[in-house]
Structure 1
Amino acid sequence: MAKLYPAPLSAIVLVLLASKLCIPCDSFSADRLTDRRLLVLVDDLAVRSSHSRFFSSLRSRGYELDFKLADDPSLALRRYGQYLYDGLILFSPSVQRFGGSLDLAAVLDFVDAGHDLILAADSSASDLMREIATDCGGPVLFRGIGHSLNAANSLVLKVLSASAAAYSANPSAELSQPPSLTGSAISLVSIVQARNNARVLITGSLDMFSNRHEKSGNEQFVTEISKWVFHERGHLKAVNLHHHKVGETNEPTMYRINDDLEYSVEIYEWSGSSWEPYLADDVQVQFYMMSPYVLKTLSTDQKGLYSTSFKVPDVYGVFQFKVDYQKLGYTSLSLSKQIPVQPFRHNEYARFITTAFPYYGASFSNMVGFFIFTVFYLYNK
């Protein structure tokens, strides 16, 4: 259980992210990139003007923003089993309880369904905001609002850390006790990409998104990080997965052992406005049955097409072509296609096998010897 401490007045500006979000769900759908409806919950509608540059950046990228007070009694994320929004922005750090049908469980279910979340807080963060942050991940230590990440969790990434002179400690603890965290171990901005490719950004500084920092890099920072959260950066899709025998074009219903085959798939990356060829040299395919019998790195034509060729192993059964691609900052790809591999029929094997010549010789010599013995036995007096 994470310990949450009240933030003192000398709170540092922070952005926090979760530590564990292991959600076994379906992959994020590339088709949703055309659905850009975001629900923005605020404590005060004045945030629309005080943070207008950030919201204008979202609108210019094609998002439709629906502003509502966090305690609005009509709040709902879905209706008749369908989600009404594709992303959620929580700019309501002090809300104690959401209105309508929205609550902690509804927010977490929203992320579990593959949707994205930005949570901004400050030193007045309510217990509800802290619970959402805690349920999105592991131990969180508040003193400015800084936090620590679970180093064993591969789903969480630190984007911005504190300076070397910063420290984090429990303000209610004795002064003689050393600080809990120091320097770059304090995460200020962190992100999580769940196993279903949903993305989460939680920040402890609502002020970071405001218009008051014209001479700083805040505007560019929050714009670029929101592009990643809403899948305008680092989003991959795979299409036209195909395999066939060498020299053929049609996809067979089965392979025979020792067949030569070719495998190909097209991978593209969303640039924010169009799908562009994804360029990498680390995409691999497995020919898998219980364990991989073949592991091949796919070569690319620099236009999005990845392909390779190999020989079907001399083992029959039900195999899978598997591509399990995970790269930091990108959505994961998990592709599989099942295909049976059959042995040769009895009449398809070679009639004489070279390596079996000694056995052939032994059989024929045995027959000749038996014939000679029979003749000698019958006609010898």
Structure 2
Amino acid sequence: MAISRVPFFALVLVLAVISMSNAFSEENPTSRRLLVLVDDLAIRSSHSIYFRSLESRGYNLQFQLADDPKLALKRYGQYLYDGLVLFSPSAKKFGGTVDLAAVLDFVDSGHDLILAADSSASDLIREIATECGVDFDEDPASMVVDHVGYAVSQTDLDHTLVASDDFIQSEAILGSEKIKAPVLFRGIAHSVNPTNSMVVKILAASPCVYSGNPRTKLTKAPSLTGSTISLVSVVQARNNARVLISGSLDLFSDRLFKHGVVKSANSIHEKSGNEQFAVQISKWVFHERGHLKAVNVRHHKIGEIVEPAMYRIKDDLEYLVEISEWSGERWEPYVADDVQVQFYMMSPYVLKTLTANEKGLYSAAFKVPDVYGVFQFKLEYKRLGYTTLSLSKQIPVRPFRHNEYERFIPAAYPYYSASFSAMAGFLIFSFVYLYNK
């Protein structure tokens, strides 16, 4: 038996190494191992186009029922997946060791999450969304209804099939190619806290939309209306983990991918923009776009290349850093004109905009202020759709030594002349007083 176990453990070790080589890392930030939790495995067929688009880009998808008793996100302290896709809106409880706390810890550890809900959303799904900064409509029977901007369809008499083209204007999130057709949405509404800058609406509703029960007449004002409603939102946490929250699971379905859109007489499309929208936003969620990396952070005196242990006041120095963006396959230079560095001690004494070349090398030269103490080079770069860069490097600044001051300070020439003129006057007065009768 001992002889037969050796090859087995060797095989397990090889498989583990291969699995870890495809995992999320600083050099390969794209999430590759995805766990897809579903209420029914039939979703693999009804949403096959979306799943195939992920697999064609190199993702390894593992499908499991949300209540599978063997379900686990980590084993022996290591996470088994880089991303989690929750296409199980009606799941009241996850199986195995997965629960609300496990999902939140998964995101807090820097991993990515896609959550899609619908009118059957359970309390568990709503709690996960709430912890991510999104609040679904509390009425379980409510849906998004639009009697003006709905998608014309013979089977949709309650106007719950909404066509929206109010996309966020961000190439980092939705890509440079414009989404050609409106996105079809059938599901529930949610709201975001406007003071929370980490939560962003990427597909908003028209001003005519409201959230209510389409099967009953309105007897009171709906809780969510117009611009307060978000159809699809994204979250980028402080640890750069990314979360996508959609109130519609149908948005990712093959049926709506192929569905035509007739929003008005001037807006007729043979195919909706759902597929393009879903693919582009998944690229952002799984770090194929908008992921930045800063390397080779350095500084030195002008004319030198060695980084000193400290600077002297009024030294001329240069700060350099290289910034790259992950394209999904390789690191490419990131070029922008709004990257700034601070020379900071309690407050910024110097704020300088870095200039970049085509290779993504940023640099700035400035003079050390006439204040000594412990300073920091601080670079904080926060832009919509991009991962946050937060760099700091500490450096002390000393005053002049006694032998480094100028022998004669030009600004003190008036005082020098005043001193010598006083001495000359004293000598003349003494001579006159002593020798004049």
Q: What's the TM-score once normalised by structure 2's chain length?
A: 0.75
1:1-381 to 2 correspondences below 5 Å: 30-33=26-29, 36-141=32-137, 143-144=142-143, 145-169=188-212, 175-213=218-256, 214=258, 215-367=271-423
**What secondary structure, in the 3-state scheme, does the structure 2 residue paired with 1:292 have?**
strand
**What secondary structure, in the 3-state scheme, does the structure 2 residue paired with 1:30 have?**
coil
Residue 148 of structure 1 contacts residue 186 of structure 1 at CA under 8 Å; is this kept in 2?
yes
**2:182 aligns to what?**
none
**What secondary structure, in the 3-state scheme, does the structure 2 residue paired with 1:108 have?**
helix
Deviation at 1:49, TM superposition (A): 2.2
**What secondary structure, in the 3-state scheme, does the structure 1 residue paired with 2:50 have?**
helix
**What secondary structure, in the 3-state scheme, does the structure 1 residue paired with 2:104 have?**
helix
Deviation at 1:357, TM superposition (A): 2.3
What residue identity is the alignment partner of 1:335? L
The whole-number CA distance in structure 1 between the counterparts of 2:208 and 2:414 is 81
The whole-number CA distance in structure 2 between the counterparts of 1:211 and 1:337 is 50
Deviations 1:221-240 (A, max 9, x none): 11111101011111111111
Deviation at 1:169, TM superposition (A): 4.1
Deviations 1:327-360 (A, max 9, x none): 1111111111111111111111111111222333
Residue 140 of structure 1 contacts residue 149 of structure 1 at CA under 8 Å; is this kept in 2?
no
**What secondary structure, in the 3-state scheme, does the structure 2 residue paired with 1:212 have?**
helix
**1:5 aligns to what?**
none
Residue 31 of structure 2 contacts residue 287 of structure 2 at CA under 8 Å; is this kept in 1?
no
The whole-number CA distance in structure 2 between the counterparts of 1:228 and 1:159 is 12
**What secondary structure, in the 3-state scheme, does the structure 2 residue paired with 1:48 have?**
helix
| Two-structure CA RMSD over aligned residues (Å) | 2.4
* Residue range with higher mean Cα deviation, 164-173 or 105-114: 164-173
**What secondary structure, in the 3-state scheme, does the structure 2 residue paired with 1:351 have?**
coil
Deviations 1:172-212 (A, max 9, x none): 99944222332333111111111111111112222222222
**What secondary structure, in the 3-state scheme, does the structure 2 residue paired with 1:264 have?**
strand
**What secondary structure, in the 3-state scheme, does the structure 2 residue paired with 1:247 have?**
coil
The whole-number CA distance in structure 2 between the counterparts of 1:138 and 1:165 is 21
The whole-number CA distance in structure 2 between the counterparts of 1:180 and 1:98 is 30
Deviation at 1:122, TM superposition (A): 1.4
* Residue range with higher mean Cα deviation, 157-166 or 231-240: 157-166
Residue 31 of structure 2 contacts residue 83 of structure 2 at CA under 8 Å; is this kept in 1?
no
What residue identity is the alignment partner of 1:253? A
1:129–1:80 distance in 2 versus 1, CA, 3 Å: same
Deviation at 1:246, TM superposition (A): 0.8
Identity of aligned residues (%): 73
Deviation at 1:268, TM superposition (A): 1.1
The whole-number CA distance in structure 2 between the counterparts of 1:336 and 1:31 is 21
The whole-number CA distance in structure 1 between the counterparts of 2:300 and 2:200 is 40
The whole-number CA distance in structure 2 between the counterparts of 1:120 and 1:306 is 40
Q: What's the TM-score once normalised by structure 1's chain length?
A: 0.86
The whole-number CA distance in structure 2 between the counterparts of 1:318 and 1:146 is 51
Deviations 1:229-262 (A, max 9, x none): 0111111111111211111111111111111111
Deviation at 1:319, TM superposition (A): 0.9
The whole-number CA distance in structure 1 between the counterparts of 2:299 and 2:38 is 51
1:335–1:188 distance in 2 versus 1, CA, 3 Å: same
* Residue range with higher mean Cα deviation, 154-163 or 171-180: 171-180
Deviation at 1:377, TM superposition (A): 8.7
Deviations 1:141-184 (A, max 9, x none): 25210112211221111111223432124789994422233233
Deviation at 1:87, TM superposition (A): 0.8
Deviation at 1:48, TM superposition (A): 1.8
What residue identity is the alignment partner of 2:60? E
The whole-number CA distance in structure 2 between the counterparts of 1:138 and 1:208 is 18
Deviations 1:96-139 (A, max 9, x none): 11111111011111111111100111111111111111111154
1:135–1:195 distance in 2 versus 1, CA, 3 Å: same
What residue identity is the alignment partner of 1:357? Y
Residue 289 of structure 2 contacts residue 327 of structure 2 at CA under 8 Å; is this kept in 1?
yes
Q: Which has the higher contact order (CA 8 A, sep 6+)?
A: 1
Residue 41 of structure 1 contacts residue 67 of structure 1 at CA under 8 Å; is this kept in 2?
yes
**2:4 aligns to what?**
none
Segments of 5+ residues of structure 2 without an aligned counterpart are 1-23, 144-187, 259-270
The whole-number CA distance in structure 1 between the counterparts of 2:57 and 2:336 is 27
Residue 83 of structure 2 contacts residue 111 of structure 2 at CA under 8 Å; is this kept in 1?
yes
